Amino acid sequence: MENFEFCVPTHILFGKGQIEKLPDVINGFGKKVLLTYGGGSIKKTGLYDKIKELLADCEIFELSGIAPNPKVDSVREGVALCREHNIDVILAVGGGSVIDCSKGIASARYYEGDAWDMIATRAEITKALPIVTVLTIAATGSEADFGAVITNPDTNEKLALNGFPLFPKVSILDPEYTFSVPAKQTAAGSIDILSHLMEQYFVPASTYMNDLLVEAVMKTVVKYAPIAYKEPNNYEARGQLMWASTLADNATLCNGNQLVAFSCHGIEHELSAYYDITHGVGLAIVTPRWMEYVLSDKTAPKFARFGREIFNVQGDNDMESAKLTIKVLYDFFRSLGVPMSFGELGITSEHFEEMAHHAVEAEGLEYALLPLTSKDVKAIYEMCL
Amino acid sequence: MENFEFCVPTHILFGKGQIEKLPDVINGFGKKVLLTYGGGSIKKTGLYDKIKELLADCEIFELSGIAPNPKVDSVREGVALCREHNIDVILAVGGGSVIDCSKGIASARYYEGDAWDMIATRAEITKALPIVTVLTIAATGSEADFGAVITNPDTNEKLALNGFPLFPKVSILDPEYTFSVPAKQTAAGSIDILSHLMEQYFVPASTYMNDLLVEAVMKTVVKYAPIAYKEPNNYEARGQLMWASTLADNATLCNGNQLVAFSCHGIEHELSAYYDITHGVGLAIVTPRWMEYVLSDKTAPKFARFGREIFNVQGDNDMESAKLTIKVLYDFFRSLGVPMSFGELGITSEHFEEMAHHAVEAEGLEYALLPLTSKDVKAIYEMCL
């Protein structure tokens, strides 16, 4: 069992109607609010109006149009608004992209210099504006972690940003706000959750308890993702996925494991950076290929256990079970309607060389479960074609 | 899935050598420290000297001799010290009793009136001195929760105290500090952990994920308690139990369940209040009898599942499995060397009437899984003779 530090100070308000507490929550930080959101789905669902109504006595400024794989330009725009209007609190209403962008804004607001410099130089985050979130998709876990990922389309870079002040102060998690998430995004979000779990499970050393805890949440995702995919208004399915997204991401389940760089996330981030694809879709394509690539006598037992516990795969030996598991996982992703090859997304081998080089460098893949060179990553990309 | 609020702001420093961070931690709160501890085992193990050495530039005042089932007199004594010396931070070095007592002190320090009034009237806790803990036994989970239980021997009352300001700010969890815990206390602590898990598992409604999460930690306790019992210096066993104690107690695993009053804890608290027995020992005696008493077609399926998942019990039907499970659980406790009847502790039926009456009133047992009247509780006590 490894040493660890652990603290998740985010206050979670989970369930139907928790939005009614928003005025009290916001008033705890001030009256000048930067409301951040994405493409406007919150206007269609009525959430936008509800929030404006609840916060009628606040001064609300808006940053809308935050895109998936949030771009540094949105961060810059938010920072300018925060400085101009002396914002007290950021209210992020959306999924991981909106929350991640808000984390970039909250910290860059106090950074002297350009936001991308702060991110690219990995400047220490010592101060940030308070962030309150209203989550609208179960996926990244950004609602209760201290990290964010921001993309710079000019340099094709997608880089992480971390710091204790980035934990949202309060996150409102009402599963009903995810009823309107389309099937495709429901699938991608669920795959992101499952991937977080796999990345903390396929590690050089894990504890007895953590393996069981991670399996508990994996089973939950595998049970409820297909239900939410088919029945968007199923509260139990949406609720379990939402809480799974939070637990899967914030180290609750892997404290004491020997953690290493996240292989599939690292390999995928380059896809999103170069092709702006949905993170969960990229993960679905990459993961079975990565498993195939790193399959060995050393990795087979854990892959086999994963298959046995999560998908009831029964092979004659670990290697056979592991191979079957990779296939079953592929089929599971496919059953959620996800494109399962680069070809389906129009991605060619054009940038593989530089993407692979970049993945290894930016994501520390030499410290992954199986240490990966750029040659390895390129080979995995080629398997995805 | 039920609504819930969740926040555990305690910063955990887990593992070997984390004590070296203590000076930085304490300096964040001030220089005047109230060091609280129990019967002096920390002097035998060297932990006391280590802490004095690390905090050489602090002004340390001491409250020692805090007893199991901590008494309100210790709270009063601590409050007087805090006021007299204008203490900045309480450093609780010990197990649940020392930490609970420190929580009483931290809050009563700001209460105008006697500490017992604050507890007995359930006064709202809005302010408390910061608490830092160094945990020396895995059991109650008080190292990362906002509750405490304080006993008043004058009135034979053992009452709970709760409030957000009572969360320890930082808890140092080094499994090596539990190597010296005697086998009997190791058993009692493990049973307390298991009981917390059972109380959040045997509820009117639980989620799919929570059942699996709780089972994960139950399996861990059942695997490692016998190992720690026999091999006190087994780091992995001590570490897994220590982290299990934290997770078992702070709602991480039961958010979204329909929670009800803790039956066995409620019934046991009276035993500790009247006879000052070890909490975990009381729980071991009470739990199988409570299960037997509430066994019905309604409770049998979950009891059977518990037996199947945790102890591999296989009966022909749920009722048979449940009955076997109760026996297996009894034998498991017995295998840990715990007295399994009141007779072994010299407890007679003398106070059953008032204890039962009190348990129902103080612990809200009319809101338990099977609502219990004082007649029910008395019957359960009689089964324990």
Say whether residue A223 is in contact with chain B using an 8 A CB cutoff: yes
Contact between chains at B215 and A219 (C-beta distance less than 8 A)? no
Per-residue pLDDT for B128 more than 90?
Answer: yes
pLDDT at B273: 87
Question: How far from chain centre, in Å, is Cα B320?
Answer: 31
**What is the token pair recorded at B135?**
């945990």
Per the CB < 8 A criterion, the answer to whether B277 and B346 are in contact is no
Closest Cβ–Cβ partner in B15, B219, B247 for A2 = B15
Say whether residue B213 is in contact with chain A using an 8 A CB cutoff: yes
**What is the token pair recorded at B113?**
């009136």
* CA within 13 Å, CB half, B188: 19
For residue B369, give the nearest of B218, B128, B219, B205 by alpha carbon. B205
Contact between chains at A252 and B252 (C-beta distance less than 8 A)? yes
Positive or negative, the Cα torsion across A254, A257, A261, A262?
negative
Per-residue pLDDT for B40 more than 90?
Answer: no
Per the CB < 8 A criterion, the answer to whether A321 and A329 are in contact is no
Rounded to the nearest 5°, which phi and psi values hold at B111? -95, 130
Per-residue pLDDT for B177 more than 90?
Answer: yes
Question: What is the pLDDT averaged over residues B338-365?
Answer: 94
User: Which strands sit side by side in the sheet containing B32-36, from one edge to the other?
Assistant: A59-63, A32-36, A89-94, A131-135, A170-173, A4-14, B4-14, B170-173, B131-135, B89-94, B32-36, B59-63
How far away is chain A from the Cα of B230, in angstroms, using its nearest Cα?
Answer: 19
Distance CA B282, CA B70 (A): 16
Per-residue pLDDT for B255 more than 90?
Answer: yes
Q: Which pLDDT band holds residue A40 (cuts at 50, 70, 90)?
A: confident
Contact between chains at B13 and A1 (C-beta distance less than 8 A)? no
pLDDT at B362: 85
Question: What is the pLDDT averaged over residues B271-293?
Answer: 95
pLDDT digits (tens, 9 = 90+) for A148-205: 999 999 998 889 999 999 999 999 999 999 999 999 999 999 999 999 999 999 999 9
Closest Cβ–Cβ partner in A8, A223, A247 for B8 = A8
Show residues of chain A in contact with B207, CB under 8 Å. 236, 239-240
Interface test with A, best of B3, B164, B174, B222 (most A CBs within 10 A): B3
pLDDT digits (tens, 9 = 90+) for A270-302: 998 899 899 999 999 999 999 999 999 999 999
Closest Cβ–Cβ partner in A3, A12, A219 for B212 = A219
Fold of the domain built from segment(s) A11-178: Rossmann fold (3.40.50)
pLDDT at A200: 96
Closest Cβ–Cβ partner in B1, B5, B12 for A235 = B1
**Residue B167's closest chain A neighbor by CA?**
A9
pLDDT at A46: 96
Distance CA B43, CA B111 (A): 32
Closest Cβ–Cβ partner in A1, A239, A252 for B1 = A239
Pairing of strands A170-173, B4-14: unpaired
Closest Cβ–Cβ partner in A2, A235, A244 for B209 = A244
Contact between chains at A3 and B10 (C-beta distance less than 8 A)? no
Query: Following CA atoms B114, B120, B121, B127 in sequence, which dihedral angle do they give, to the nearest 10 degrees?
Result: 60
Pairing of strands B131-135, B170-173: parallel
The answer to which of A166-175, A261-270, B17-26, B334-343 has the lowest mean pLDDT is: A261-270
Fold of the domain built from segment(s) A183-383: Dehydroquinate synthase-like, alpha domain (1.20.1090)
* CA within 13 Å, CB half, A67: 15
Mean predicted lDDT score pLDDT of chain A = 96
What is the residue whose two structure tokens read 């959750």? A193
| Position with higher pLDDT, B157 vs A18 | A18
Mean predicted lDDT score pLDDT of chain B = 96
* Residues 6+ positions from B145 with CB-CB distance below 8 Å: B8, B167, B249, B250
DSSP A58-101: SEEEEE--PPSS-BHHHHHHHHHHHHHHT--EEEEEESHHHHHH
Alpha helices in A111-262 (DSSP H): 115-120, 183-201, 208-230, 235-249
pLDDT digits (tens, 9 = 90+) for A308-346: 999 999 999 999 999 999 999 999 999 999 999 999 999
pLDDT digits (tens, 9 = 90+) for B295-306: 999 999 999 999
Say whether residue A161 is in contact with chain B using an 8 A CB cutoff: no
Distance CA B87, CA B69 (A): 24
Closest Cβ–Cβ partner in A1, A215, A236 for B239 = A1
For residue B18, give the nearest of A166, A127, A256 by alpha carbon. A256
Per-residue pLDDT for B286 more than 90?
Answer: yes
Distance CA A249, CA A226 (A): 21
Show residues of chain B in contact with A220, CB under 8 Å. 208-209, 212
Positive or negative, the Cα torsion across B128, B133, B135, B136?
negative
Show residues of chain B in contact with A208, CB under 8 Å. 219-220, 223-224, 240
Distance CA B385, CA B382 (A): 5
Q: Provide the percentage of residues in chain A whose pLDDT is more than 70.
A: 100
Per-residue pLDDT for B287 more than 90?
Answer: yes
Structure letter (DSSP) for residue B66: P
- From-to residues of CATH 1.20.1090.10 in chain B: 183-383
Q: Which pLDDT band holds residue B363 (cuts at 50, 70, 90)?
A: confident
Say whether residue A169 is in contact with chain B using an 8 A CB cutoff: no
Show residues of chain A in contact with B239, CB under 8 Å. 1, 207, 256
Contact between chains at A240 and B216 (C-beta distance less than 8 A)? no
How far away is chain B from the Cα of A287, in angstroms, using its nearest Cα?
Answer: 24
**Residue A5's closest chain B neighbor by CA?**
B13
Rounded to the nearest 5°, which phi and psi values hold at B261? -55, 145
**Residue A208's closest chain B neighbor by CA?**
B220
Long-range contacts for A4-7 (Cβ within 8 Å, ≥24 apart)? A4/A251, A4/A255, A4/A256, A4/B12, A4/B14, A4/B15, A5/B11, A5/B12, A5/B13, A5/B14, A6/A251, A6/A252, A6/A255, A6/B11, A6/B12, A6/B14, A7/A164, A7/B9, A7/B10, A7/B11, A7/B12
pLDDT at A156: 87
pLDDT at B156: 87
- Angle (CA) A176 A179 A185, round 5°: 130
Per the CB < 8 A criterion, the answer to whether B171 and B12 are in contact is yes
The answer to which of A49-58, A294-303, B210-219, B353-362 has the lowest mean pLDDT is: B353-362
Per-residue pLDDT for A362 more than 90?
Answer: no
Per the CB < 8 A criterion, the answer to whether A238 and A231 are in contact is no
Structure letter (DSSP) for residue B67: P
How far away is chain B from the Cα of A227, in angstroms, using its nearest Cα?
Answer: 14
Distance CA A183, CA A188 (A): 9
Contact between chains at B5 and A11 (C-beta distance less than 8 A)? yes
- From-to residues of CATH 3.40.50.1970 in chain A: 11-178
Distance CA A69, CA B347 (A): 66
How far away is chain B from the Cα of A17, in angstroms, using its nearest Cα?
Answer: 9
Question: What is the pLDDT averaged over residues B6-30?
Answer: 98
- The answer to whether ipTM exceeds 0.95 is yes
Say whether residue A295 is in contact with chain B using an 8 A CB cutoff: no
